[in-house]
Copies of this chain bind each other. A is one copy, B any other.
Amino acid sequence: VPPQDLNGVGRLGLIAGGGRLPTVIAESCRARGREPFVIRLPGAADPALAAFEGADVGLAELGTSLKALRRAGCRSVCLAGNVRRPDFSALKPDLAALKHLPRLIAAAGKGDDALLRAVLAMFEAEGFEVEGAGAAAPDLLLGPGPLGSLAPGPDAADDAAAAIAAARRLGLTDAGQAAVVRAGRLLAVEDAHGTDAMLARCDGGAGGRDGVLAKVPKPGQDRRVDLPTIGVATVEGAAAAGLAGIVGEAGQLLVVDKAAVRAAADRLGLFVVGVEA
């Protein structure tokens, strides 16, 4: 048995967009003895991913990607990291990509979620299993209870419950995954501009820490992609907005990375807490 097959699930092919998430997933896999093979999207993928076996392959060169993944012994893939919506008219698809392109373009017209589902279906049609980041790197998932040393008090617990409810309702609109509630009032919701932009438009509050950010998957969303994510920047943004803390659903929020987020939360005096989904 090769080392990457130790846990019986086969080697992981990691399709890496931008941001820290792919790197943290790759490190998590390596630490558990499942050496990943990384397809690094040029101009997006974290340079730190050069520490892993892999290939630099563009979005449109699907045939090249599939060949590299198969040659490396990958049986499943995980898509992680930020990818800009491509300008389909500017892509130079190879033959394999060309085959799937009409379906992808049609899906793209129905929104980001539809496009992602179509990309997953494409890898499945090519014979790969698709793993979510949470399955590939379960140690990244927020657990139940507080992550750091602080826990919400009664007022914050009320705001946390209201923020979770608002974020779930928001998810039905396909607009975003996050909401901020302060003193019972829905202060901000996430849109395509993201969580950091949402936090940046929340003022610092009345002085003390007040209000809660919730981030949850969209109801019915394919949890193999696009699981909501927080990182140190989220904690810092929440602190600058004067919030008391961050709440997510246990097992449904990726924390990149946990040690740094815990340290930032403790340093800035915020709680980060997981509740039952």
Contacts and interface: CB of A to CB of B under 8 A. Distances in A.
A185 B113 CA distance: 10
Contact of A109 (B109, B184, B193): B184
Nearest to A182: B192
Given A172-B169, A173-B169, A173-B170, A191 B186 contact: yes
B192 A186 contact: yes
Interface residues of A, number: 28
A191 to B, nearest CB: 5
Contacts of A185: 85, 111-112, 192
A173 B189 contact: yes
A187 B174 CA distance: 10
A188 B191 contact: yes
Interface in A17-42: none
Interface in A190-215: 191-193, 197-198, 201
Contacts of A184: 108-111
A172 B219 CA distance: 15
A192 B188 contact: yes
A97 interface: no
Interface of A: 85, 108-112, 166, 169-170, 172-176, 179, 183-189, 191-193, 197-198, 201
Given A111-B186, A189-B189, A191-B198, 7 more contacts: A111-B184, A111-B185, A166-B174, A170-B173, A172-B173, A175-B186, A201-B201
Ranked 7 nearest A-B pairs via Cβ: A169-B173, A175-B189, A189-B191, A188-B191, A109-B184, A193-B201, A187-B192
30 contacts: A109-B184, A110-B184, A111-B184, A111-B185, A111-B186, A166-B173, A169-B172, A169-B173, A170-B170, A170-B173, A170-B175, A170-B189, A173-B186, A173-B189, A175-B189, A176-B189, A185-B192, A186-B191, A186-B192, A187-B191, A187-B192, A188-B191, A188-B192, A188-B193, A189-B189, A189-B191, A191-B198, A193-B201, A197-B201, A201-B201
